[in-house]
Each structure stands twice: as structure tokens, then as C-alpha cells.
Amino acid sequence: MKKTKIERFIRDNRENFDQFEVPAGLWDRIDKGLGNLDTFPGETSFVEKKNIIVFKQKYWVMAASLALLIGCFFVYNLGFKSQNTDKIIATVSPEYGDKMVQYASLIETKREEIRQIETEDPVLYKEFAKEIENLNKDYQNLKAELPQTPNQEELVKAMIQNLQVQLDILNRQLSIIQKIKDYQNNPTRSI
């Protein structure tokens, strides 16, 4: 369709059509709006805030010591437990034990590699990490069950399978990252 006179005129003078100036004070309103998003609704006075801070600080000390105590307890317990599960796996089959160590170290390296995109693309990284975290949770659940379960061999197999799936997903994530990088380096080429 051939452009008519008026269409050409508007196209050629496009910048001149932005004649309106933004009203002064609009940023202040946006700034205020953003501020409300950042903090809790309901203003507290400075004195009140100060009191709250002192009050909070006391609580923080208490909370921190409590957390430390609980932490120590868990580290002790977990260390004991994981030693325990390692032993069980070794008794079920030393071959499985070796495989698991190998997978675990591969997973660690690959996760480290993916962590490099955290600054470039935090959203994508979060998504990727969440996927693995979910599987890892399952893995930890299996591991916790191991000492009590009647069929330990089945459970160890399930654990290995879980690690394999983790590895598989990590490989796919890495290839996606590579594709994105390729694309960014050379956007004309289709993926």
C-alpha cells in the first residue's frame, strides 16, 4: 500500500509530535510509590523506630545464640547420620558407593559451572537452581529413610537414580546456557 501524503508527513516529522513535557513532580510521586513498595505500610516515628531497633537487637542476640546451639546439634547429628548412611551403602554394595561418590562430585562441578550465570541472569539461575534443589530434597529424604528401611538395596538404587536425573538436568541446563551464549555472540544465526 502506497503511503499517502499525510502518512509521509507524520513519518517524516515523528519527533516533533512528542510535544508534551512531563509535569514536574511526577517523579516524586513515583518515588513515593516505590518507597511504599519497599517498606511496610504504616509509618512509625523515629523514636518508635529507635526503640524497636534496640528491642530487636536484644532479640537478635538471643536468637543468634539459640540458632548456634541448634546448628551445633544438627551438625553433630547429621555428621553422625551421614557417616552411618555411607556405611550402609558400602555394605549394600561397594560398587554403588563408588558410583555415588563419582556422581556427587560431577554434580558439584556442574553446579559450580552453572553458578557463573548467577550475576548475568539471576532469574534463569534461580529457576535452574530450584529444579536441582527440589531433586536434592528428594535425595536427602531417601537418605534419611535409609537406616530404617527394610529394603536398603532398592532405596540405594533410587538414590543413584536421583543423582542420575540431577546430572541429566544439569547437562541440559548447561547446553541451554551454551545456546544462549552462542545466540548472544551471534544473533543472526537461528538456534
Residues forming contacts to another protein in the complex (CB under 8 A) are 1, 4-7, 9-11, 13-14, 16-23, 26-27, 29-31, 33-34, 37-38, 122-123, 184, 186-189
For the chain, report the end-to-end CA distance as a whole number of angstroms. 34
Concatenated DSSP letters for 14-56? GGGG--PPPPTTHHHHHHHHHHHHHS-SS---HHHHHHHHHHH
Give least dist CB 187 to another protein, A.
6
Q: Which is nearer to another protein, 18 or 43 (CB)?
A: 18
Give least dist CB 189 to another protein, A.
7
Concatenated DSSP letters for 143-157? HHHTTT-S-HHHHHH
Give least dist CB 67 to another protein, A.
27
Give least dist CB 131 to another protein, A.
18
Other Cβ atoms closer than 10 A to 166: 23
Q: Which is nearer to another protein, 21 or 95 (CB)?
A: 21
Q: Which is nearer to another protein, 20 or 80 (CB)?
A: 20
Distance between CA atoms of residues 79 and 88, nearest Å: 14
Distance between CA atoms of residues 113 and 109, nearest Å: 6
Q: Which is nearer to another protein, 14 or 58 (CB)?
A: 14
